Amino acid sequence: MNILNYKKTFFLKSVPNIFDMTIKNGIEVAFVGYSNSGKSSAINALTHKKKLARFSKVPGCTKLINFFQVASDFRLVDLPGYGYAQVSMSKKIYLKNVIYSYLKHSECLKGLVFLMDIRHPLKVFDLNIIDLAINNEIPILLLLTKCDKLTVSDQKIQFNKVYKELKYFLNKIHIHLFSSLKKVGITELKKQLNLWYKKYR
Ligand SMILES: Nc1nc2c(ncn2[C@@H]2O[C@H](COP(=O)(O)OP(=O)(O)OP(=O)(O)O)[C@@H](O)[C@H]2O)c(=O)[nH]1
Ligand SMILES: [Mg+2]
C-alpha cells in the first residue's frame, strides 16, 4: 500500500544553514550531489511537479537548503549542489560547510538520496560525503542519474564500476539507474523513501 502521496508535496521553507531550521521533529530524507547532478529534477519527477524544486540550466543555482513537505511528519530536503567550477573557492568552502553541517547536525535526517551523473560518478567530494554518511550511520540510495544519456550497455558498464568500488558498503548503500527525463528508477526511489518513512515514523 502506498502510504505517502508524493503529489501532495509542497514547498515548506528555505534556510541558509541547518542551524536556522526551527522544525526539529519528523523525518527528513536529503537529496545530495554535485551541482547539475539532477537533484531538483529528481524531486520534481518524484512529486509530479514541473517546478516544485526550481531547476535551472545554470548549474549552482540552489544555494539554500530547501525543505519540501510530503506529509506532516515527512520532508524532502534539496541540499545545495557542490563542485560547480564557476563558483569561487570561498563559496565552495562555504557550501561544503552548509552540506556537512546539515549531514552532521540534522536531528531528523534518516536517509540520503545520493545523485551522481552516471557519466561522472564517485568524484572525490562524493566519496567524502559517503564516508561522512556511513560514519554517521545514514543509509544511502545512490541514483546514477541521466542514464538516458548512455546506451544500455554503457549504463551497465558504469553501474558495475560503481558497484565494484562500493562493494564493501553494499549493506548500507543501494544503487539504481535513474532518469528524471525518461522516468527510470522513480518507482525504486519511492519504494526506498516509503521504507525509511515506515521504519522511522
Ligand atoms: N537528459 C537528462 N537531463 C537531466 C536529467 N535530470 C536533470 N537533467 C538536466 O540537468 C540539468 C541540471 O539538473 P538539476 O535538477 O537542476 O540539477 P541539480 O542537481 O538540482 O543542480 P544544482 O541545483 O545546481 O545543484 C538541467 O538542465 C536538467 O534539465 C535526466 O534525467 N536526463
Ligand atoms: Mg537544484
What b/e sequence results for 34-71 when a residue is b if at least 16 CB atoms lie within 10 Å of its CB, and e otherwise?
Answer: bbbbbbbbbbbbbbebeebbebeeebbebbebbbbbbb
Residue nearest to atom 30 of ligand 1 (CA): 146
Q: What is the distance in A from the centroid of ligand 1 to the CA of 35?
A: 8
Query: Which residues have their alpha-adjacent CB atom under 5 A from ion ligand 2?
Result: 39-40, 62
pLDDT digit string, tens, across residues 102-143: 999 999 999 999 999 999 999 999 999 999 999 999 999 999
Residue nearest to atom 26 of ligand 1 (CA): 57
Q: How many residues does the chain have?
A: 201
Q: What is the distance in A from the centroid of ligand 2 to the CA of 56?
A: 7
Residue nearest to atom 11 of ligand 1 (CA): 36
- Of all residues in the chain, the percent with pLDDT exceeding 90 is 81
CA distances from 146 to 4, 47, 66, 83, 178 (A): 25, 18, 22, 18, 6
What b/e sequence results for 95-123 when a residue is b if at least 16 CB atoms lie within 10 Å of its CB, and e otherwise?
Answer: bbebbeebbeebebbbbbbbbbbbeebee
Give 1's pLDDT tier (boundaries 50, 70, 90).
Answer: very low
Around Cβ 24, how many Cβ atoms within 10 Å? 8
- As assigned by CATH, the class of the 6-200 domain is alpha beta
Q: What is the distance in A from the centroid of ligand 1 to the CA of 42?
A: 8
Q: Write down the domain spans for the chain.
A: 6-200
Summary mean pLDDT of the chain: 92
Predicted pLDDT at 92: 86
Residue nearest to atom 3 of ligand 1 (CA): 146
Ligand with an atom nearest the CA of residue 43: 1
pLDDT digit string, tens, across residues 156-174: 999 999 999 999 998 999 9
To the nearest 10°, the Cα dihedral for 113, 118, 122, 126?
-40
Predicted pLDDT at 56: 56
Give the binding-site residues of ligand 1, using a 6 Å CB cut-off: 33, 35-41, 55-57, 59-62, 81, 145-146, 148-149, 179-181
